[in-house]
Structure 1
Amino acid sequence: MTQNDMQEQVLAALRGVLHPHTGDDLLSAGYVRDVEIRPDGEVRFAFTLQPQDPGSLVKQARSAVQAVDGVERVKVNVQLPQAGTQAPASAPARPRPTPSPKPSGGGGGLQPGSVPAPTPKPGILAETDHVVAVSSGKGGVGKSMVASNLAAALADQGLRVGLLDADIYGPNIPRMFGESRRPRVTGGKGTEMIEPLEAHGVRLMSLGFLLEEEQPAIMRGPLIAGILRQFLEQVDWGPLDVMVVDMPPGTGDAQLSLVQTIDVDGAVMVSTPQAVALGDVRRGVKMFERVNTRVLGIVENMAGEVFGSGGGEALAEEMGLDFLGRIPLDPAVRQAGDAGKPTVLAAPDSPAGQALAKVAEAVFKALHTAKAAGASG
């Protein structure tokens, strides 16, 4: 089968998926675009998902394409409609908020040495008394866990609390609150508002509520900024004593967009004890200082705690991947990292040093296996 033949069949499969509310097919209605057929049988396309659409639409589109002969893999770039763009014809038009002011310095992100003053838009979160951003210099330090527990603890004290999951690439709040429902959309055409979900006394909004489980969010900075504006402007948060914002890790467009859209009262930085993580936190603190946002303090997470094991191996088996090794919790890793020297060099005879050496060997073998498979294919 030629690529042209496969493309025709893929497009036909997408036309066969109908919107349950309108009866329109996904292709004609504009939900699916940028369909790409690759020589290795991989199919890619973008899917613009409206908050009011059933979550099964993406899954149905993926399954329909996967069933086409010759299709090996299907990758879907799920997106929310960017503010100011036309929604698919089968969906109610989205409100078009005024774009947030652009940062000074001429670039799309923070410029070295610049101090872009926040210019929050009036009226956004007008019924919210305090906004706290929970951030980290890098991923994997437990930032979302801290944000979730902070929000829940405040709500347990009788405060009215909202939790906005601004970690667009890794929206973990739904899982942490055990919530998987889709938000309701209220209001008439042109005045739609999204109702936040509520769990454990906390009002929640996350991109994870709008995506299929384990569906990655693949998007660029401007689209992320648009989604954050939607979550701030088009979600009916109601009166809140505290809004907790779970930021994406690092320093970039999301952080800059937030402080330029609303008044942030302070940021909480989350870190692990390692010097590598602390160095990233330092950069995060300086970023907030440059945009004139107060840093309330630092939370040290995973300090001396003992982790379980076996999760990585179970996940590898579940996904059909090789398990490359397990690194035990070993003080040598922290000591070597803080000293600026890899464990396999600083402590090669330690349990972690030996395990890391075995992992390196497994990776090297896997590289050769993959290269050989590619050459034969």
Structure 2
Amino acid sequence: MDAKLDLPFDADAMLEGLRAWVECESPTHDAAAVNRMMALAGRHLALMGASVETIPGRMGFGDCVRARFPHESKEKGILVLAHLDTVHPVGTLQNGLPFRREGAKAYGPGIQDMKGGTYLAIEAIGQLIKAGIPTSRPVTVLLTSDEEVGSPSTRDLIEAEAARHAVVLVPEPARPDGGVVTGRYAIARFNLRTTGRPSHAGARLGEGRSAIREMAKQIVAIEEMTTEACTFSVGVIHGGQWVNCVATHCDAESLSMAKRQEDLDAAVERMLALRSTTNDVQLSVKRGVTRPVWEPDGKVLALHATAEKLAQRLGFALPHQSSGGGSDGNFTGAMGIPTLDGLGIIGALAHTLEEHVEVESLASRGKLFAGLLQVV
């Protein structure tokens, strides 16, 4: 089948539609906010003719949406795998990152990671429907609610759904060079707690043993374990309640990332072997969410070759790479299901108050996605 690529994608019109999504703030830890975003996207998919199902959330996270589009074939289909949670808290629109367009760029919370990519993928399906062009296989869209924290409540759903499909397309942001992702590094998260001994910080400071002090030592030691093979970082810390009390507890979250599974396994052993620097303060380290390494095989490289040919017809290059910054593609790729990631929008500075996208890439990447849906 020769893909039809001259579909009437309009980047300006797409940006206007995307604006409603960006302005529906949906931070992972606010289940009600995520559910509002899921309802918005679910209605959009239903209007397109999909059979839409809301899957209740668990573990305190928001719901998921699964949309299936009608198709004559009963063979295994294409899974479009995306998330609608973001790292930006509700209020970011009013405090630091309002939706706005400045020339060729548009800004807003979650616009790059990954509402822009999700929107263009769904628009690609819509363009094919309007043109009466069938997809090569049945298409399912799965929108999840907790990817930004490692998908603890949705990994089982993702893997079960992926197993029913032949191909997985992930519209996470494009790489800085406009390329796509054919592999992801392994990632592990850890939860740490130090437990000290309280005392009055003014009257009896010497009697206390500070959990915060011990955690500070551990953070320095953890981050100094970083090598070229594996990184170690601490991104969350909470400790104490009153400044006039020596802190009893301090909690932190650490993340390690490695290109090879064996290096991550070694990192896990090192983290779990950490011990307190003093007998007066206890340290516990628990392993959290893990994303397995995804290494490209022949099927993934063949999928990329198909996408690259489509990109050439559209007039742009499409290099590929293995990448850090895990995604739900880690799971499907590690399962051996042909997965192509990084198919989303071109932009920069995700997870910051300068997060933005290149508006025109909504149309160009949308055309690429529509082409893939016709031939994979």
TM-score over 0.5 (shorter chain): no
Select the structure with the greater relative contact order (CA < 8 A; seq sep ≥ 6).
2
Task: Give the TM-score, by structure 1 length.
Answer: 0.23
Query: More strand per residue: 1 or 2?
Result: 2
Task: Give the TM-score, by structure 2 length.
Answer: 0.23
